[in-house]
Every structure is written in structure tokens, then in C-alpha cells.
A = this chain, B = another copy of it.
């Protein structure tokens, strides 16, 4: 983890109570686009493996599991939109609704497809969401201790 992030984490720990309450009014306050990204990455790799295989059973299972993973990505994206982002963020990100709408529709596209470019588009949209989330101070509200160095 780079120095700047460590510093943010340290500051986070010192000033946690007030910062956290500023970002959430429901019993959690922990939102992280990683949840959506991990499911979307899973869909991406499942498509890669589907394309690399000619085992009929394996390919059927890929379609089943991709459906589930993408549904989870959809759920996590929807929660970020409705729960993390607040009306004041809309001024900061005038295309907020549009990015989220396209991201959710892209999840449907990934369900329908076995083209890894569709999964890549979803990952790109989640990256756009992540960038907005970071600008609202998202990183400070999660990763209490930062990922440990191995």
C-alpha cells in the first residue's frame, strides 16, 4: 500500500467516529465497489474459460455460475447507488445515475453473452463507479487497517 493511503488510514483511525457518521445514516456505512468488481472479475474469467474449453458439461456449468455471479454484481452495484451516494454527490457527479444505469444494464449484457469484451465493459464501468466512490471519501470508510503486507 502506498504511503498516501497508509496516511489516510492512519488519519481514519484517529478520527473514525465523526468521519464515519458523516457518510452513513443506516447501521453499516461500509460500501466498497470491490464487492461488485470481484463478482465481475469472476464473470470475466468464467467467460475466458468457457471460450478455452470444448467440454460441454464444463461450458454448461460456466453459464450457470456466470448467471449467479453477475446477479451478485448487479446487487452490489444497486446498493452502492441507492445507499452510498447521496443527493449532494449528484452535483459532484452529474452523470452519476447514467453510469450506474449503464453498469446495471451491462450486468444483464454479461448474463446474455459469452464475449469477454462485454465483461470488460462491466469492469470498466465499475472502475468509473470506484473513482466516484473514492472521491466521496470511500476509501476512508473501509479497510480499517489496510490490507496487510504479506
Spell out A's residues near B (CB within 8 Å): 2, 16-17, 20, 24-30, 32, 34-35, 37-38, 41-42, 44-46, 48-50, 52, 57-58, 60-65, 67, 69, 74-75, 78, 81-83, 97-98, 101, 104-105, 107-108, 111-112, 114, 123, 127, 130-131, 134-135, 142-145, 147-150
Contact A38 B48 (CB under 8 A): no
Can you name 27 A-B pairs with beta carbons within 8 Å?
A2-B2, A17-B48, A17-B52, A27-B65, A28-B46, A30-B42, A32-B38, A34-B34, A35-B35, A35-B38, A41-B144, A60-B60, A60-B63, A61-B63, A61-B67, A61-B112, A65-B67, A74-B78, A75-B75, A78-B78, A81-B104, A82-B105, A82-B108, A130-B147, A131-B150, A134-B150, A135-B150
